[in-house]
Amino acid sequence: MIQPATKPSPTLLIVGSSEDFSSQVQEFLSSFSVQEVNHLPEAYHRQDYGVIIFSPNCYPQKSINSLQEPFFYLSFSPLIVGDIQILSPYSFEQFQAALNAALKYHATNVNLKTVSRKHTIVSKDRANLSAIGIALSAEKDLEKLLGMVLNEGRKLAKCEGASLYLIEKNKQGEDELVFKLTQNSKIFFDFEESRFPLNNDSLAGYVALNGLALNIDDAYKLDQNVPYSFDKSYDRQTDYRTKEMLVLPMLNHKGKIIGVLQFVNTFGGATKTNKNKSANLQGFSKIKQGLLSGLASQAAVAIDNSQLIENIKNLFEGFVAASVSAIESRDPATSGHSFRVAKLTTGLAQMVDKETSGPYKNRFFNQEQLTELRYASLLHDFGKVGVKENVLLKANKLHASRYQYLMLKIAWQKQILEKRFYLSLIAEKVDLTHQISVEQAGMINIKNFNLQGNKHYSRLIKQIDRLEYFEQLLAKANQPAIIEQTIEKELKQMMDYSMDKDYPFNHYLISDSDFLSLSISKGSLTEKERREIQSHVTYTQSFLEKNTLDG
């Protein structure tokens, strides 16, 4: 980089006349930039003088306290006290030594001011960097975060353009360099995200692979021995001249490179090729490079956190979807219910948020609250996982297995009655062969016999008819419809029906719990079962309280 020319010697202000000095001193003073005044100006402190020299015959027009003044005073006048006081007689060597001492003081003062100014600038930049870091850590949206990184980076770098690349996996599981975003204060062009192979051919690829920063004075004049090159296609498309470039690796808290930050053209450099081709002498200083390296690291950590949060959200979204699917697989009758509730609930919240009048005009929902509301709506039935399946899936008043059991009891009772009837016929030696055809063999129905005169047969048919009525009553009462009062009375008769003495289990056809279930006036659930179903609300509340997005 071209170094600026040496700053010229400061102007010497002589109050009085240079003719008051010897010819040798006058000749010495001719090598400096000298300004002579008869009297010290009122606004002298605003002038950029290196040393103020009071000649021997100078008479002050105002009192001077040299200790409180910002300039160095060299006084040869007995009437004015200076930082260095020299009275006659004096030699040329004394004058020369005194002036050199005064100029060194001035140079030291200037250097101190320069260092102080640079320190102030660096301190301010560091404070800005700290504020930027806080802002980056607070932003969770990745797209907004990337834009903030470039915008704040350009301010900190005082440059025209900035670009950001991230390393991502492709479909084959290989690392690629993704050109995510670019900004430039001098030009505008349509930008589309693009992907590049991760290799040393490009500036960004080289930095991403090797973790080395590149501070380039002119992108068009790269050393022929370097492995990377600069792509001029964007410049040609936009009539732009990229000159200075600072390309920095973005390292996260684990020291892993996740991407690259690239800054272009500090302010004052070449921009449009047809307007300004002058060289930029400012460049990206080492101090700027250090600050921007800090920004790159902060950005890497913020981006890592943002992506981690996004991954957690995706994981949670998958968990919610899997949970809803699991719930609905346990209760197919309500399939799609949770999604419909979520859609309606969030839709109502969005409409309330837009209200400008009425009781809900001051009720607002931000995006985070809408997201929480959607998750809560989707999971509002999650507590069903704690409900017994035979209760949750109970379609009729009796569980299917219990209903089948009661129907088998009735069938067993019919068979035992028929068996005892057949045994009585055998004991009485009643011949039934003439009543059964070959076609009927194997599918005998007791009602097909012509035994109307037999008192045992008549009693059996009545018993069979009653049991078949119980079958019909059981099937009708088991439906989750509103029960009729007549059915309830008939159920009591069924409850009083006693099984044959040889039945090895419950003596009555139906138990007290069967009667209570079949007597349900509406629906299919007993009061106990209804409380168990309703308990899923409590389970859901407990789950959501323990698994909020904040926790």
Contact 449, 435 (CB under 8 A): yes
Centroid of chain to Cα 221:
41
| Whether 191 and 236 share a structural domain | yes
Residue 455: the pLDDT is 76
Residue 226, domain CATH:
3.30.450.40
Angstrom distance (rounded) from CA 400 to CA 475: 11
Q: How high is the pLDDT of residue 215?
A: 94
Cα 443 to Cα 437: distance, rounded to the nearest angstrom: 11
* pLDDT at residue 405 greater than cutoff 90: yes
User: Range with the lowest mean pLDDT among 5-9, 342-346, 347-351?
Assistant: 5-9
Predicted confidence (pLDDT) per residue in 288-301, tens digit: 888 888 888 888 88
- Can you give the C-alpha Rg of the chain in angstroms? 50
Angstrom distance (rounded) from CA 292 to CA 222: 22
How confident is the model over 264-275, as pLDDT tens digits? 999 854 444 444
Are both 288 and 422 inside the same structural domain?
no
Over range 423-452, report the average pLDDT: 65
285 and 179 together in one domain: yes
Are the C-beta atoms of residues 148 and 117 closer than 8 Å to each other?
no
pLDDT confidence of residue 141: 79
pLDDT at 209 over 90: yes
89 is a domain residue: yes
Residue 416 has a pLDDT of 92
User: Which domain covers residue 51, as residue numbers?
Assistant: 11-114
The residue from 265, 286, 308 where one domain ends is: 308
Structure confidence at residue 424 (pLDDT):
82
Residue 27: count of CB within 10 angstroms of its CB: 11
Residue 341 forms part of a structural domain: no
Say what the pLDDT of residue 31 is. Answer: 85
How many CB atoms neighbour CB 250 within 10 A?
29
Say how far apart CA 199 and CA 380 lie, in whole Å: 50
Strand, coil or helix: 218: coil
Q: Quote the pLDDT of residue 4.
A: 39
Lowest mean pLDDT among 64-73, 129-138, 337-346, 524-533: 64-73
Is residue 418 domain-shared with residue 455, that is, in the same domain?
yes
195 and 303 share a domain? yes
The reported pLDDT for the residue numbered 268 is: 53
In a domain, 6, yes or no: no
Give residue 441's pLDDT: 47
Is the pLDDT at 208 greater than 90, yes or no? yes
More confident position, 225 or 108: 225
d(CA 434, CA 415) in angstroms, rounded, equals 23
Report pLDDT digits (tens) over 151-164.
888 888 889 999 99
Same domain, 107 and 156: no
Token digits of residue 281: 């002498």
Q: Which two tokens stand for residue 280?
A: 């930029």
Q: How does the average pLDDT of the chain come out, rounded?
A: 80
Query: Could you tell me if residue 366 is inside a domain?
Result: no
- Partners of 73 in the β-ladder: 52
Domain membership flag for residue 223: yes
Same domain, 157 and 36: no
Which of 308, 334, 353 lies at the terminal end of a domain, its last residue?
Answer: 308
The two tokens of residue 204 are 């960004």
Highest mean pLDDT of the ranges 190-194, 318-322, 469-473: 469-473
Task: List strands edge to edge, sheet with 257-266.
Answer: 194-197, 175-184, 159-169, 257-266, 245-251, 214-216
**Kindly report the CA angle at 248 between 244 and 253, in degrees rounded to 5?**
165
Listed residues 252, 276, 308: the one ending a domain: 308
Percent of the chain with pLDDT over 90: 18
Q: What is the spatial distance between Cα 80 and Cα 209, in angstroms, rounded to a whole number? A: 69
Q: Enter the pTM of the model.
A: 0.52
Which of 93-97, 438-442, 517-521 bottoms out in mean pLDDT, i.e. has the lowest?
438-442
Q: Do 160 and 103 reside in the same domain of the chain? A: no
CATH number of the domain that 43 lies in?
3.40.50.2300
Would you state the pLDDT for residue 495? 87
**Residue 384 belongs to some domain of the structure:** no
Q: With 80 as the cut, is the pLDDT of residue 486 above it?
A: no
Q: What is the mean pLDDT of residues 532-544?
A: 72
Q: Indicate whether 94 belongs to any domain.
A: yes
Supply the pLDDT for residue 5.
39
d(CA 272, CA 233): 14
pLDDT tens sequence across 245-256: 999 998 988 889
Same domain, 94 and 146: no
Same domain as 176, residue 102: no
- Three-state secondary structure of 14-59: EECCHHHCCHHHHHHHCCCCEEEECCCCCCHHHCCEEEEEECCCCC
Cα angle 361, 366, 368 (rounded to 5 degrees) comes to 150
List the beta strands (DSSP E) in 20-152: 34-37, 49-54, 72-75, 84-85
318-322: long-range contacts (C-beta < 8 A, 24 or more apart)? 320/375, 320/378, 320/379
Q: Are residues 265 and 414 in the same domain?
A: no
Q: What is the arithmetic mean of pLDDT over 385-404?
A: 77
Locate tokens 């980076």: which residue? 153
The rounded distance, in Å, linking the Cα atoms of 106 and 137 is: 46
Whether residue 225 lies inside any domain: the answer is yes
Of the candidates 259, 537, 493, the one whose C-alpha atom is nearest the C-alpha of residue 385 is 537
Strands 72-75 and 49-54, bridge-based pairing:
parallel
Alpha-carbon distance values, 21 to 55, 57, 88, 100, 159 (Å): 7, 10, 11, 17, 53
| Pair 48, 181 in one domain | no
Report how many domains make up the chain. 3
Q: Which residues contact 417 (CB under 8 A, 6 or more apart)?
A: 460, 463, 464, 467, 500
Q: How far apart are CA 59 and CA 291, in angstroms?
A: 54
Q: Over pLDDT 70: what percentage of the chain?
A: 79
